[in-house]
Amino acid sequence: MVSRYTPVALGGVAMLFAAVTACSPVEEESTTATSPSSSAQSCAPGGLATKTPGKLTIGTDNPAYEPWFSDNKPDNGKGYESAVAYAVADRLGYPAANVVWTSVTFNNAIAPGPKAYDIDINQFSITEERKQAVDFSSPYYLVRQTVITTKGSKIAGAKSLADLKGAKLGAQVGTTSYQAVTDVIKPDQQPSVYNNNDDAKKALENGTVDGIVVDLPTAFYMTSAELENGVIVGQLPQVGVPEQFGIVLDKGSALTGCVSTAVDQLRQDGTLAVLEKTWLADTGGATELS
């Protein structure tokens, strides 16, 4: 039951659980994990081959953004990814007291080489290119990329991809948001690249760019709580296999199968859907650009 997962702040979750429907995207099955499922013996609770025996070290970026985290404190259990991380840790046999957080930049987390974490959760979309350098768990969230701007911008009323062709757009470096700009929108101008979404947001606020691309929950949060007169222009079309977020592990990690099993269990018992409803904004109001 979800109430086991501490310190996740799950006010109202018990009531939400009954309202969860089968259409929630996190309930879909997946075979995206890069390692086979581990046996029950190799996934002995709290006995995994972690960096520090008896502890699970979880990486994420700094700052850690809403609505995935809260108050830039990954260890408080608030926000969707923090809640998912603690739920996964609990399933693996690591209570909150045995979870250690470490700061890892987005690009470093998915670069080849030794890792400072056991698992890393930071809105990493699962891609074939990234799987050459790291392992991914089963997906814990299906993603849509979204264009946002401010009122009065020349793209505020855009209804199609063609309406964005002449726009100056930007996104965070190394992300599928940036890839969506170059591969889906294909603007006439070279898009701007930023170290993080804070920098991209500042560029939008000062008029350096006409719009930025972020994932849909981030779009809802930015336009409602961070940007003055923020506007969601619309969601970008889904091209090919649905984009999915996965937990990142070192390439060939002995933990990958166990983590994927934990994520699969959380999906199957409805926990991921409950956490999604608890922490992520309703995404029903964003127009799809075509």
Kindly list the distances between the CA atom of residue 34 and the CA atoms of 24, 137, 247, in Å, as whole numbers in the listed order. Answer: 24, 7, 11
Q: Are residues 152 and 135 in the same domain?
A: no
The share of the chain scoring above pLDDT 90, in percent, equals 80
Query: Helix or strand or coil: residue 86?
Result: helix
- Tens of pLDDT, residues 273-286: 999 999 996 655 68
Q: Are residues 29 and 122 in the same domain?
A: yes
Query: Helix or strand or coil: residue 120?
Result: strand
Q: Closest by alpha carbon to 99, among 57, 47, 70?
A: 57
pLDDT at 16: 36
Mean of per-residue pLDDT scores for the chain = 87
285: in domain: no
Q: Are residues 109 and 159 in the same domain?
A: no
Q: Are residues 115 and 13 in the same domain?
A: yes
CA–CA dist 169, 217 (Å, integer): 19
What band does 181 get if pLDDT is binned at 50, 70 and 90? very high
Return the minimum-mean-pLDDT range out of 24-28, 43-47, 235-239. 24-28
40: in domain: yes
Q: Are residues 20 and 73 in the same domain?
A: yes
27: in domain: yes
Evaluate if residue 11 carries a pLDDT over 70: no
pLDDT at 8: 37
Evaluate if residue 26 carries a pLDDT over 50: no
pLDDT at 138: 98
268: in domain: yes
Cα of 125 vs its chain's centroid, Å: 7
pLDDT at 282: 63
pLDDT at 285: 63
286: in domain: no
Q: Are residues 12 and 127 in the same domain?
A: yes
Based on the structure, what is the number of domains in the chain? Answer: 2
Evaluate if residue 6 carries a pLDDT over 90: no
Q: Which sign, positive or negative, has the C-alpha torsion 264, 268, 269, 271? A: positive
Q: Are residues 154 and 78 in the same domain?
A: no
Q: Are residues 158 and 61 in the same domain?
A: no
224: in domain: yes
Average pLDDT over residues 52-77: 97
Q: What is the pTM of this model?
A: 0.78
pLDDT at 254: 96
CA–CA dist 122, 258 (Å, integer): 19
Amino acid at site 180: A
25-43 as b/e: b if 16+ CB within 10 A: bbbeebeebbbeebeeeeb
- Asked if residues 224 and 286 have their Cβ atoms less than 8 Å apart, the reply is no
Alpha helices in the chain (DSSP H): 13-17, 80-91, 106-109, 176-180, 197-205, 216-221, 256-268, 271-279
Q: Are residues 121 and 249 in the same domain?
A: yes
CATH number of the domain that 155 lies in? 3.40.190.10
Query: Residue 131 gets which letter from DSSP?
Result: G
- How many Cα atoms occupy the beta-carbon half-sphere of 110 within 13 Å? 22
pLDDT at 283: 55
- Tens of pLDDT, residues 191-215: 999 999 999 999 999 999 999 999 9
- Tens of pLDDT, residues 215-272: 999 999 999 999 999 999 999 998 777 899 999 999 999 999 999 999 999 999 999 9
pLDDT at 238: 82
189: in domain: yes
Evaluate if residue 39 carries a pLDDT over 50: no
Q: Are residues 153 and 76 in the same domain?
A: no
Q: Are residues 135 and 271 in the same domain?
A: yes
Q: Indicate left, alpha or beta for 201 from its phi (over 0: left) and psi (-120 to 50: alpha).
A: alpha
**What domain range includes position 178?**
145-235
Evaluate if residue 28 carries a pLDDT over 50: no
What band does 40 get if pLDDT is binned at 50, 70 and 90? very low
Average pLDDT over residues 12-39: 40
Q: Are residues 210 and 111 in the same domain?
A: no
44: in domain: yes
CA–CA dist 160, 114 (Å, integer): 43
